[in-house]
Each structure stands twice: as C-alpha cells, then as structure tokens.
Structure 1
Amino acid sequence: MTTTSPPGTRATTATPLASEADLTLTVSAKEHLTDNVVRLTLTHPSGADLPAWSPGAHVDLVLGPDLVRPYSLCSDPADAARWQLAVAREPDGRGGSRFVHEHVAEGAEIRVRGPRNNFPLVPSPRYLFLAGGIGITPILPMLAEAQHRGADWQLVYGGRDRSTMACYEELREGYGERVSLRPQDEHGLLDLERLLGAPQPDTLIYCCGPEGLLQAVQEHCADWPAGALHVERFAPKSPAPNAPNTRDEPFVIELARSGRTVEVSAGQSALEALEAAGVPILSSCREGTCGTCETGVLSGTVDHRDSLLAPEEQAAHDAMFPCVSRAACPRLVLDL
C-alpha cells in the first residue's frame, strides 16, 4: 500500500523490529462481500481491546515465514473489540490473497502486526473520495470520520460491475446522495474530467484503486494545489516514461546509533544487506508500497524507487524504503 501525501504529514522514523504491535488474533468471522472479496473480523482471544487506529491505517497479516501482506482496516476505529479487513482474490497476485481465501478459516488464529497509517485523513472542510474496486476499503472509515467532523464530502466509487463492488448496498443505503456508485458496465469509466477538471477550493482528494485509475487521477490533478491529492497504491507504480536510468552500484550504509557499517552489493537490496548483518527492521511487501520499512536518512542522497513518497518528500532525502531504494552516493548514514 502506498501513498502520496502533502508535505509535512509524514512522520519519518526508523522502524526497528520492536516498535510494532505483534498480536495473535482470532478470525471470529469470515464473510463473502462479493464473489471475489472476503471480509475478516479479527478479535483478541482473551476479549481484550485492540490497539487504537485511525482511518487509512492498515495491518500486516503474517501468513507464513515469507508471506506477509498489508491490508487496510475498514471497520469502525471506535470499536476497540474488533478489526475488520477485506481481501480481494487476485489470481495473478503473489499468493497472499489466495492464501486468505483458501486457507484462513473462521476460528483460526492469525498473527497480525500493526496498525500503521501512511494514508491519514488530513482535516479539511471538503473531501472528494474516489475509489476503484477493492480500493474502497481504506475509504470506508474515512467516510464515517468525515461525516463525524461535519465536513462536506462526496464519494465516487467505480468497479467492473455491481457484483464486484464490496459494500455496494451498504454505501447506497447508509449515505444516500453523498455516494455515487458507478459500475463500469452501466456507466463506463469514471468521468474524471467532470470531477477534477477545475480545482476546487479547500478540497482534498483521496483516491485508492487500480494503477490505471490512480495514474489518470494524478494526471487530472496536475493543476490542483500541491498537497490536495492523496493516493494509496496496492502495487508499485509504473516508472515515469522520462525517468532516468538507474544502476545498482554498491554502496555503504553507516548505522548512526552504533557506528557500524554495512556494505550493500550490486543486485542486493539495502534491506537484504541490513538483515544479513543482523539489523532488525520490520518489512512486509518488499516492493516499496506498504511503508513498513521506512527508515530515517541522516546523511547522503537516496536513489528513491518507492511508490510512497511525493516528489517534494523524495527531494528532502531524509527518509528511504530500503526494500527498494538505494544510494545515489557512495555512503548513506541511516537512523538505525
């Protein structure tokens, strides 16, 4: 899951292994929202409250030694007794969604890490929410929060057809005219020119969905004020057509807290080198989308290859995601 956020909203911190909640929870319910989407309800085996979270947050499901996947929380943050998340089956994915659909059963225990939030709902008098397919999941708690804040808001939600759109009826019945449901087989693609063609004052846009939708929304928001658009990705973004070629040159990482140095060879990720050196860093997606391994940079220039940081955040060179990003200089000093 990746996000683009306005300047100043990201808290840049190193993520040593002990900094996250690590829980074993019970799958108290598993229900089909559509033919290809299941919703899991997770509770503590003892009935204890779960850690607090805010709209836009996600957790990691630890499905196996090498199978860790992030999923957005889509329940009510005020309900401390349970977490809910929805998982769309991706036949061509990397196996996480297939495992959840086929092997995670009601009553099972599952290891969960988090929550963490790289997609926070920034206060605003007005919001436009755009969702495509399973991208509705992080948006759901945002709608309730925007309503609670008394903000003016609108949701436009698209999908291939009604049968693929999770919570279709719940949204229509719960929010009325604030929600525009646009199945593609009935209405075609979302009319982004009408929605985004003219920048609106005091309005933030929150968008989550497939890469095609995200890229189209970003293009249509080119004339909006900086920081107006917030997006979250479930997969790495495509490189820009004019992106410079990068080479996997070796470099050295200096660990500021211990003074140790770690060499990163060509073809090896910084995260792999740190792990091999016994430096504990949380990681999940390993493709620069979830934000789990975000690490502070104290000195050096980063070759950013993530799908999270906005251009102005990348230009600051004060954070990196070592699962994909590298050094654009011989030596990086990290806050580890």
Structure 2
Amino acid sequence: MIQVPKKVGGLPVLFVATVLIPTAVSAIYLSLRSDMYTSEARFVVQSSQKQQSTGIGALFKASGFSAASEEAFAANDYITSRDALRTLDRDGAVSRAYTRPDVFMLDRFNAFGWNDGKDKLFKYYEDMVSVKYDTASGITTLEVKAFNPADAKKLNQRLLDQAEALVNRMNERGREDLVSYANAELVEAKDQARKAAVSLSTFRNREGIVDPEKQAAVQLQMISKLQDELISTKTQLVQLRSLTPQNPQIPVLQTRVGELGKEIQIQLGQIAGDQRSLAASTVQFQRLQLESTLADRELAAAISSLQEARNEARRKRAYVERIVEPNLPDSHSDPKRVRGILNVFVVGLLFWGVLSMVLAGVREHSD
C-alpha cells in the first residue's frame, strides 16, 4: 500500500491542503489580476419649479432651485442603458478600454474571442458602471471602472455629457409640446373668430342692417313722431269739421291722416310682422353676434394661454449641475489583494480547524 505522509515539511498535510495551498493560489491569482481604477463624479439635476426642503435640497431651494426627480431618474436610468453604451462606444472607446492586451485575460472583456456580442458587452458594461441616487439630497454619484485611470475618467466624462444632453432634449421636447399645443389652440380660435366675423358681416350685407336692435329703436322713435303728428292732424281735422265744415283744408287734412296711417303701418311692418322684419332678423343677428363674441373671447383666452405657455416654457427648465467633476484616479480600487489573501487564509484556518475536529472524533470512535 502507498503510505500517505502525515506531514509535509513538518506541517500537517491537512493544514497544507486547506490553508497554505488555497492561500498561495489566491495570492498568485490576485497578483496576476490587473489593477482596476475608479473615476467618481457627482451631479444633481436642478429645476426652478419643484420644491425640496430637507438636507442639501434646502440649500438649492434657498438659491431658487430644487432637485428635479423625474429628470434625475431618467438620466440615471439612461446611464445604465443600452442606448448610453451604444452612444459611448460609437468610436470604440468602451471596447478599447476593456480589451487592452496588457490586461489580465480573466479580467479582460472577450479575452478568448468567444463572446463579442452586444449583449455580452452590455453585461460587462453594467459591472463597470455604477449609479447611486440619494433621494434626500437629489445627488447622483456616478462611478466608472477601467484598467487605466485616463480611460476611467474619459468614460465618466462622456457619460455625464450624454446625461446632460438627454436632460436638454427632454427640456426642449417639453417646451416644444407646451408651446405647440397653445399655438394649435390659437390657430383654431383665430379660425373660429374669422368664420364668426365673416358670417356676421355677410348677414349685415345681405339684410342691409348694421344692428337690428338699434335700427328698431330708431324706427320706433320715427313711428312715435308719426303717431304724434297723426294725433295732431286728427285733432285739427275735428276742430275744422266742427267749426267750419266747408273749410277747404278738410280734404287736405283727411288725405294727410290717411298717408300718416299708411306710413305708420309700413314702419310697424318693418319692425315686426313678416320674415324680413327687424324682429325676425334680430334672432339670427343675436345668434351670429353671440357666436362672434364667444369666438373673440376664446381668441383672447388662446392668446393669453400662448403667452402663459411661453412664460412657463422659459421657467420650466431642468439641467445637470456637476457638483464633483470626474476625477483622474491615482491609485487602484480593485483588486484588494491583501484583504483577499487574508480572507482566504482565515477561511482556510476555519475549514482546517473543523476538519481536524471531525477527523479526531472519527479516530476516537474507531479506537
């Protein structure tokens, strides 16, 4: 039988196998891994409309600004999206940064040439980019990892530029939608006011009436004067008939009474009595005038709404304020070699102690 040595170099085989060998392997692996550098930036999406009154938000409020949460959420979500990666890698910046030949192959993206697809690159990108949003202050912390300090800073700077461009596009789209809707309402109100004015003008030209109510008032005054004159003529006629029945003025007055009566009837007919009378025209005129008045009011309201929309568009502006610019890291953040080696060593010691106790119990049970 082959005798298994119980000690190696004076140390128990179990200790060597569970503690020394794993520790040595981890030390070799961690020494081969490439240094990873992290560039950090902090920014806040500010808006002059929303209010916030706690923490750093209170400082922004005091200066007339506050965190715009919707735009911030959109910017943060965009940074970790495929669209952001696609824009960031248009010139191959991401691929070059993470496929450097001097990077350890287990750290390098697609080191063996098996996984060069967009999905694999996106999964790798998600591990290299981190976005943390503080809801209390509205501050977003952006961290980008790379194997070169300059690459980490460049990618971080580009992502900030892309997030700012996204917020600007959202602002522009919001302003355009706000103003275009008000413009559409104004165009519709102008068209309605024009149609109402044309209808009223056509009615006046067709009927030869400027304002039936005012014209009826004038004609009523005329009828009143004719009636007064008719009464005066009839009175004079009665007096002549009673005093001088043969007076030659009597036929003249009789004719005048008849003419006045006919004129009064004509004037009354123009005011009311048939379909072309002022009374009949007044109904249609009032309807057209009401439509014109309402259209003018809607036009005035639309003009006011457009002005308010333009003012609102000027006020409604969110933008990215950079609190901390992307830094150029001067020391690596990963891997933490000493900590990793110590962790493996401690875990090995615990594992060795447990196995030693188990084996000692087995031996005692066998004896």
TM-score of the aligned structures, taking structure 2 as reference length: 0.16
RCO higher in structure (CA 8 A, sep ≥6): 2
Structure number with the higher strand fraction is: 1
TM-score of the aligned structures, taking structure 1 as reference length: 0.17
